[in-house]
Amino acid sequence: MRPVTATAHRPALVRSGTSLARTAAVMGERSIRLASRNIDAVLEALALPIMLMLVFVYLFGGAIKVGGRYVDYVVPGVLLLCVVFGSSMTAVSVSHDMNGGIIDRFRSMNVSAALLLFGHVIASLARNAVSILLAFGVGVGVGMRPAVDLPRWVAAFGVLLLFALALSWLSAVVGVLTRSPEAATGFTFFAFFLVNPSSALVPVATMPHWVRGFAQNQPVTAVADAVRSLLLGGGTAGAATTRSVVWCLCILGLSVTAAAPVVRRRTA
């Protein structure tokens, strides 16, 4: 009988000639499939935009003055809240993988360290895209009436997705560094809290002086201002969009650069 060698049973994922794009696609498909099986997470991602929109528009809207209709001001902020929450949850899913043994198996299959996180980022983008579109629909349903053309809608959607990409990669790195899913959950609370000292929900000018400096110069404010200017037709849309893109690219570049060495050190 012909002996069975390790080469004969080499997984299809790492056969000779398999490209990085193919490997990345397989990892992305795996993470999306796992995410779709988590019914609780799917329902949470769908319900969060609706609940947040109703709370801020109908419960808080009458008490907050922004010099115009609060619904127009807060919808971009709620969109950003959904993105922050959905992206930061990537840290928890990565931590589950890091502590569940599957990472060791992937490493034995000669999969690139950065690609181990790529699938989680793809799944995060898919969740965020659905959440953004749903929140857009709910925002229009509760009274938001943006008087802008389709290119500005697309630009606003693109800025939100770029921020989701950057934050998802940062969350993935945090998930590798944390020693348990419970610890990774702390990053979700931190990211969610970061929305409060920003222009997402209230104008920065209404905050105490000692908070304004930080609130005005952080990425959440940059993205919120860009999305709001694009959707409401503000004259500063170009400058705000550029500022938000610069913030996103900086976060993305640092996170992607750190991903591979962090994974190699954790799995060494």
Give one DSSP letter per residue of 58-114, joined into a string: IISTTT---SS-HHHHHHHHHHHHHHHHHHHTHHHHHHHHHHHSHHHHHHHTT--HH
Q: What's the pLDDT tens digit per position in 124-154?
A: 888 888 888 888 888 888 888 776 678 888 8
pLDDT class of 11 with cuts at 50, 70, 90:
very low
DSSP code of residue 56: I
Measured between alpha carbons, how far is residue 119 from residues 1, 2, 191 in Å? 40, 38, 21
Looking at the predicted structure, is the pLDDT value of residue 7 above 80? Answer: no
Measured between alpha carbons, how far is 212 from 5 in angstroms, rounded to an integer?
65
pLDDT confidence of residue 234 = 66
In 10 A of CB 51, how many CB atoms?
Answer: 12
Residue given tokens 């569940």 in the structure block: 100
Residue 42 confidence (pLDDT): 67
208: left (phi over 0), alpha (psi -120 to 50) or beta: beta
Residues belonging to the chain: 268
> pLDDT tens digits, residue range 185-236?
888 888 888 888 998 888 888 888 889 989 999 999 999 999 998 888 766 7
Give the model's pLDDT for residue 161.
94
Task: Give the residue, 7 or 69, on which the prediction is more confident.
Answer: 69
pLDDT at 122: 87
Whole-number percent of the chain with pLDDT over 90: 18
Burial of 3 (0-12, 13-18, 19+ CB in 10 A): exposed
pLDDT at position 13 = 40
The interaxial angle of helices 150-177 and 237-267, nearest 10 deg, is 20
| Element holding 242 (H helix, E strand) | helix 237-267
Asked if 146 and 232 count as a contact pair (C-beta separation under 8 A), the reply is yes
CA distances from 224 to 157, 197, 217 (A): 12, 12, 12
Each residue of 26-64: pLDDT tens digit?
777 777 776 666 666 667 767 777 888 888 888 877 777
